[in-house]
């Protein structure tokens, strides 16, 4: 299962006394726009990790959104491993609880006889069996959709084929749903084709420039957690190119960021 993680930790530059992710874009904030798109993606859950100084504002902005929140320590440097690790720990806790709930549901259905059957000795309903270690178990109803012509349906099925986290930036508001499906498809296909040799990272690349989102395998999380907290994640990722699957995308929105007042005005005009 792939979990979506939206990082709202970059509070500069401040424009109109607001951090970039809370800037208004039409009738919603940049963060709301990102969350709305991410929630249409093929993910088992969505987590928003916000700078502690703005955690309450983020919760208020996302009232009614089906997301879970985690406040980052105020000592964490924006864009650093120190900001990422608490969010990853929260994601792992969410995944563990989800897996326990699924196991309990499977056990319950396995032990209950079919309501349509009068024979109490009838064999229990089949349940999904454990696949390769470290690989997500696709629910039976979704496994058959992995080659569906509908990109959204196929993306959801594919998201259960490999455990991972897709990392989004809250100050990059021009992502599209199709981009998410494209990354998940490439990430799962690599695992299917190369198995143990599959690269643990997948990154959107537009015209040779590295962008967001970034998708990484669950197995790589302990390695990330072991890095010094002050390490800048993007800088470290540049040293992982041999382990990174470049997913070439046509959408320039992967590069657009609210990095200055001029960029804010330009993105407003684009929208």
Return the pLDDT at 219: 95
Q: Which helix (H) or strand (E) holds 60?
A: helix 55-61
Contacts of residue 228, defined as CB under 8 A and 6 or more positions apart, other chains included, come to 81
Q: What are the distances in angstroms from CA 214 to CA 32, 133, 170, 234, 269?
A: 20, 23, 13, 10, 27
- The total of structural domains in the chain comes to 1
- What end-to-end distance do the CA atoms of the chain give, in Å? 33
- pLDDT confidence band for 127 (50 / 70 / 90): very low
pLDDT digits (tens, 9 = 90+) for 66-97: 999 999 998 889 999 999 999 999 999 999 99
Within 10 Å of residue 107's Cβ, how many Cβ atoms? 11
Domain residues for the domain of 176 are 2-270
Q: What is the dihedral of CA 151, 154, 156, 160, to 10 degrees?
A: -150
Return the pLDDT at 153: 56
Joined together, the tokens standing for residue 124 give 């229990």
Q: What gap in Å lies between CA 178 and CA 176, rounded to an integer?
A: 5
Rounded to 5 degrees, φ, ψ at 202 are -135, 135
Instruction: Determine if the peptide bond prior to 213 is cis (ω within 30°).
Output: yes
- Among 26, 5, 33, 27, smallest CA distance to 171 is for 33
Residue-averaged pLDDT of the chain = 85
pLDDT digits (tens, 9 = 90+) for 159-191: 667 899 999 999 999 999 888 988 998 998 898
Pair 97, 103: CB distance under 8 Å: no
Global model pTM greater than 0.85:
no
Beta bridge partners of 120: none
Q: What is the CATH number of the domain that holds 146?
A: 3.90.550.10
- Among 189, 112, 134, smallest CA distance to 157 is for 189
pLDDT digits (tens, 9 = 90+) for 128-162: 444 443 444 444 454 555 565 555 555 565 666 78
Return the pLDDT at 271: 86
């Amino acid at each position: 299962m792939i979990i979506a993680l939206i990082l709202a930790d970059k509070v500069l530059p401040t424009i109109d006394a607001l951090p970039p992710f809370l800037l208004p874009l039409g009738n919603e904030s940049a963060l709301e726009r990102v969350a709305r798109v991410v929630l249409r993606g093929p993910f088992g859950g969505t987590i928003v990790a916000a700078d502690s100084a703005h955690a309450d504002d983020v919760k208020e902005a996302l009232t009614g959104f089906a997301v879970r929140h985690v406040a980052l320590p105020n000592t964490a440097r924006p864009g650093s491993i120190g900001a990422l690790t608490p969010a990853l720990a929260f994601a792992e806790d969410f995944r563990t609880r989800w897996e326990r709930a699924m196991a309990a549901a499977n056990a319950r259905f396995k032990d209950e006889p079919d309501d349509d059957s009068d024979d109490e000795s009838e064999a229990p309903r089949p349940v999904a069996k454990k696949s390769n270690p470290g690989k997500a178990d696709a629910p039976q109803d979704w496994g058959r959709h992995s080659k569906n012509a509908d990109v959204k349906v196929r993306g959801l099925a594919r998201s259960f084929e490999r455990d991972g986290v897709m990392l989004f930036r809250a100050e990059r508001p021009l992502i599209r749903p199709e981009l998410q499906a494209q990354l998940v498809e490439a990430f799962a296909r690599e695992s299917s084709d190369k198995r143990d040799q599959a690269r643990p990272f997948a990154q959107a690349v537009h015209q040779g420039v590295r962008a967001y989102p970034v998708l990484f395998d669950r197995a790589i999380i302990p390695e990330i957690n072991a890095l010094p907290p002050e390490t800048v994640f993007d800088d470290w990722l540049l040293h992982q190119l041999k382990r990174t699957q470049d997913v070439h995308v046509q959408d320039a929105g992967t590069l657009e960021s609210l990095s200055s007042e001029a960029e804010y005005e330009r993105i407003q005009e684009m929208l």
